[in-house]
Structure 1
Amino acid sequence: MYNQYQQQQMMQQQQMMQRQQMMQQQRMLQEQQRQQKLLQYFNFVDKDKSGTIEKEELSLALKQGGMVFSYETCGLLIKLFDSEKKNGVNITEFYQLYNFVVNMRNSFLQVDTDKSGTIDANELAVALKYSGYHFPNNVILMLINKFGKNNQIKIDDWISLCSFLQHSRAVFMIYDNDRDGKVSLDFNAFLAISSLLK
């Protein structure tokens, strides 16, 4: 009786492991298919076959994936992911950029509860918290005024805002040597930071 119970347990464990392996293989296959599709988008818009795409080409590539963003937003995205400072992204950077955009779009859609295509200051605060940012109301209002229109943020504005915040965080970390979230700046350092944020 006990051996039969052990055999059933072992068989259940084996079946569970097989299901997990199948699910993992499915996820890997889906990821390969997604990367293949992104490579097709990339190659389609890389007209000069330089191996990099600029903001106009990025806009077209994202449009192929069903996401429409302004050239300005595409420029911010390139600035965020262009590790070689060549005013374009290579295929590896494009994969990272695309994942970032998809994640940020999903967080936007989660908080756009009325499905209006816009989020207000309250929804923006929630979306920023989902993204790891905890700002007081005055900063939320400043961000909505800078990136939105009529106290509303559209998806394009949201991606611009997220790109700005990611880039700002990276620049801030250069000066936050002890990683306490605070920096002391003289005017020269302030100008240096300001120039890096442009």
Structure 2
Amino acid sequence: GERGGAPGVVFDRVDAAGTGNITAPQLQSALAVGNLDFPLSVVQQMIRMYDFDRNGTMSFQEFLALNKFLQKVQGVFSTLERGRGFLSLEDVYEALIKLGFSLDSPAFYTVCESFDKSKKGMVRLDEFISICIFVQSARNLYSSFDTTKQGKVTLDFNQFVYCTANCRI
């Protein structure tokens, strides 16, 4: 491949047909190679987050943007997991703050509960990434409605449904 570095190698391997774009199932299998097992719904959300041209697939540039986000999230996870392989809920809260997300208790616990499959308060890397993808997607969507940057939005019911459907994982 003409693309440099590890992300380029991964992208070119997944884009075996050389189309210049990868689909959600292709991205899902690429991530699985790195021991990141995500449901297809989470992978589709990753694509929606970085699909700048809105074509439903991921170009190399979009893949680089996602990769940068994943590296940052994995870095924060690594600094807080202390060799245990998981984060406690307190760690998750601290990690989100390090990533620039400050949630109040009801929002924080509701998000954690929806991604903590084992319900033991031990959040693995893939679950943590899923949480971050969700919160980042919610922030992006919220910002698109918060045009005055006042931190408050008014939604009618249709806009609310649109938002929840867009953030659904």
Q: TM-score range with shorter-chain normalisation?
A: 0.7 to 0.9
1:196 to 157, 162, 166: 166
CA distance in 2, matches of 1:71, 1:186: 31
Amino acid corresponding to residue 89 of structure 1 in structure 2: M
Unmatched tracts of structure 1, length 5 or more: 1-33
CA RMSD of aligned residues (A): 1.9
Q: Deviations over 1:30-72 (max 9, x none)?
A: xxxx9433212111111222111112221333345x3423243
Partner of 2:58: 89
Rg bigger for which structure?
Answer: 1
Instruction: Give the count of matched residue pairs.
Output: 163
1:171 to 134, 137, 141: 141
Secondary structure at the aligned position of 1:50 is classed as coil
Structure 1 segments, 4+ long, off by >6 Å, are: none
Partner of 1:146: 114
Q: Deviations over 1:141-195 (max 9, x none)?
A: 1111011122221111111111111111111111112101111222232123223
Higher relative CO (CA 8 A, sep ≥ 6), structure 1 or 2?
Answer: 2
1:126 to 77, 82, 94: 94
Identity percentage of aligned residues: 24
Q: How does 1:66-105 map to 2 (within 5 A)?
A: 66-72=34-40, 73-105=42-74
Partner of 1:181: 151
Q: Is the 8 A contact 1:121 1:140 kept in 2?
A: no
Higher helix content, 1 or 2: 1
CA distance in 1, matches of 2:150, 2:80: 30
CA distance in 1, matches of 2:32, 2:161: 36
Secondary structure at the aligned position of 1:116 is classed as coil
Secondary structure at the aligned position of 1:169 is classed as helix
Unmatched tracts of structure 2, length 5 or more: none
Amino acid corresponding to residue 122 of structure 1 in structure 2: E
